[in-house]
Each structure stands twice: as structure tokens, then as C-alpha cells.
Structure 1
């Protein structure tokens, strides 16, 4: 691959070959052209702007983890049914991660038919630039899309992780490169139990979104 060839071009070609389509341009038109998509999602629910993205989305989304078929292997029919039902109910935000088992693959079976109407978010647990790139490439192929609406750093828990992420060869470099190549629209940081670490991350980099756990019982 020549120096002038971007990862975007490489990924488009790879997905096209994997899909059995003759050219990446034909694949892209087939997947992205609004005229070839399924009927628009019409069920409405209240919307809010997502972080600093400027994008308004419904207040409920569908997550790909947890004790559901969306993260279980060999549950294609059940997972696809859940995703299709979510679309029927007006959900347009779909959140998954490279580490959520076959979740990305299941979403990739349904969402390409609605690509212009949905907001796809996934995550990487890699803290280094090369590892993050490998996960991004796999996520794009499994989700059957040539770009992500949101790519997030997954479960950042320690200050040492932040130091690695923002080092010369850290994952933040992959975020910048992927955004420059239009493989991702927005970037985010997520955490489970360490709000002070997430706050530090937000102070060190202009992430578009953050994702944290909030228990209604708390």
C-alpha cells in the first residue's frame, strides 16, 4: 500500500471484497445512498443534543452489552429482532464496543439499511495508537460501515492510562488521525466508577462526548 493510500481507502476496499462487491465505490453507494435505504424511521420520542456534537438524538438508545443476546454468540436471530424492534420504536442511537462479543457484527447485519438515519457509537479499550487503529479497522468491518458517528475510549479508570493515551504514540493520536481521514465524526471517553479520571480526561482533550454509569437507585 503506497504512502498516499489512506486507511479509509484500504478499509473501503477490504469491506467491498469481504462483501463480494466488485468495487468499494459501488459498495459505498449501495450502503450509504439514502435512496437505497429502508423506509425512514418515523416513530418519534423526545430528543436532546448529544454532548458537543451538535447532533440531536432520542433520549433512549440501545446498548450492545449486558445480559442480552446482543453480546452472546450464536444468537443472530434474537439479536437482529431486538435491533429491528428498537428501530421500529424510534431508537436511533446504538452503542457498542470492540469487546462486546459479537455485538458489532449483529448491528452490522441491520443498521447499514438505515445508515443515514442512525447514530453508531463504538469503543476501543486500546491505550496505544496502533492497538486503537487495529480495533477501529475491525469495528468498521464488523459494523459494515465506512465511518463511525462516535468512537470512544473505553472504560478509562486510572491516571496512568491517561498518560499513555496522551503520549506520543497513544490512542489520542489514533483519534486525531481517524477524524482527519473521516473514519469517525466525533470522539468520546467513557468510564464506570472513576468520575475524577473522566474529568481529568475531559480537561486534557476536547472530547465531544462522555459516557458514565448512573444508577437510578442511587
Structure 2
């Protein structure tokens, strides 16, 4: 095995030590990908049948308490950013109640064919009544009769698939009624991620992944192993924290190339904060 290939394959187990290892990041930069990719590539999310763009437009950079860097742009500012992405072939809107981005996405949806975009959102509800209320409120806020993807947001417990069975049942019922097209979770612990991989209920998972383990559930090698299990089971896997919540802002090319090289991500989400940033991301993916 050539030295570069050894570095690429072995370094994902090194975790945060990567950050100081320029040789490893350079190895990623030098190693060619097996194919060319585009942010606007049409991908299918696992076995859900949902077709969308490879790059999702994130709206939740440092998102909490109904605020994020993207929502700080204002309804028109973020809506214009989403529409700029749409005009560049991006079809995947990544929203959440906790980001406060529903009004911004709703404004963008007024200007595009609804069936041409994928709207993903997330609920923090942990009881059935709250989950039902969220589904009604989310659709009102988004101005849409249905949600393409609804995730249980930020699950952390190893037993979450038992503990929150009531919420899961609400989302299953919503899918049967056509209120949502698919359901799943975003995980914020390796125990929760492993539980998601084993649960037939999880159809799509939003997983934290980057080459240095920044803001992830475990070291990259461990996480990738679980994501491979998900992929083998036909689940959709969407990557997040691709740039390590800004840690890799100055090594974006390597982070993007790493995500594209894994072979386990159907799509990934990155939150741009300006049209220039968004168009730069699109160029970087094409050049990877």
C-alpha cells in the first residue's frame, strides 16, 4: 500500500490529533477521488425514494433557541440565499424548529415548485402530544401541506428507541397519512448512533462526520463503522459538521474531499452565510 493510501485509511482513527498534522491533511488533498462530484448531483436518500441534491443548504450554524447564524440574515436574507442555491441546482433545505428557520424556508418555498425541493426539519419533542402539535405547527410555519423529512432532533440516549417509542409512533402514523414522507433522527452520542443503526424505524440519519473528529460522536473511524452499518441496512445517511463547526474553515477542500471519499454519505449539509460562501462551496465540491 502506498504511503498516501495508508495515511488516508488509517488517519480517521487519530481523532483530534489530526488538527496538528499537516501531512495527513495534505495526504487527503493529494489523493484523487475515484469520480467527480457536483453539489447539484441528484442523489437518492437511502431506501426512501426521495431524490434531492448532494449538498443540502444548512440553516443552523450555531443553532439553538430559535436562532442561528443563517436566521440572523433575516427572512429575506436567508430566503434569498436559499433561492440562490436553488438557482445553482441545490434542492435540499435543511431546517429545524430550534434554528427558528421555518419562516425563512417558507418564504423561499413561495418562489419554487414545492415538489422540486426537499424540506427536512427536526423536532425536539419527546412525548407524543408535543410531537403531534409540532407536525401541525411546522406545516403551518412552512406553508406546506407535508414535510419531506422529519427527524427527532439531537437524540443522545442509548435506549432512545425504547424511551421515545411514543414519538416514533406519531411520526410513523404521520408517514402513513402523507403528512411526512420519511422519518429518522439526528444523533449526538455514539450510543444513540449505534441504536439508530440497529432500529428498523430509522429511515434516515443525520450524522456528524469530518476527518478530525471535531464536534463528533466519536473518532472518525468509529463513526464511519456505524455509518457503514446504516448504509448496508438501506438507511439514508446525511452528513453534518463536515467542516467541524468552523474548525476546518481553513481546510475546507480536505474536509469536503474526505466526506466525498467515504462512500457512505448520500448527501451532506453545510450552512453558508452568504451567497459568496455558498457559491464557493459549490465550486470546491466540483473541484474536489
Fold-level similarity (TM above 0.5): yes
User: 1:111 Cα shift?
Assistant: 1.4
Cα deviation, 1:124-144, whole Å, max 9, x if unaligned, reads: 111211111111111111111
User: 1:44 Cα shift?
Assistant: 7.9
The answer as to whether partners of 2:75 and 2:107 remain within 8 angstroms in 1 is no
- Structure 2 unaligned blocks of 5 or more: 1-37, 63-67, 214-288
What's 1:152 paired with? 151
What's 2:106 paired with? 108
User: 1:57 Cα shift?
Assistant: 2.1
User: 1:171 Cα shift?
Assistant: 0.3
1:83 aligns with 2:79: no
Tell me the number of residue pairs that the alignment of Structure 1 and Structure 2 aligns: 170
User: 1:53 Cα shift?
Assistant: 1.0
What's 1:130 paired with? 129
TM-score (norm 1): 0.71
Out of 187, 190, 210, the position equivalent to 1:215 is 210
The answer as to whether partners of 1:51 and 1:210 remain within 8 angstroms in 2 is no
In 2: Cα distance, 1:80 partner to 1:197 partner? 33
SS of the residue 2:150 aligns to: strand
- Superposed, 1:18-167 pairs within 5 Å as 45-66=40-61, 69-72=69-72, 75-101=74-100, 103-112=101-110, 113-166=112-165
TM-score (norm 2): 0.55
What's 1:12 paired with? none
In 1: Cα distance, 2:119 partner to 2:153 partner? 15
After superposition, the CA RMSD in angstroms is: 2.1
Cα deviation, 1:5-42, whole Å, max 9, x if unaligned, reads: xxxxxxxxxxxxxxxxxxxxxxxxxxxxxxxxxxxxxx
The answer as to whether partners of 1:156 and 1:162 remain within 8 angstroms in 2 is no
Q: Highest relative contact order (Cα 8 Å, sep 6+), 1 or 2?
A: 2
In 2: Cα distance, 1:148 partner to 1:184 partner? 5
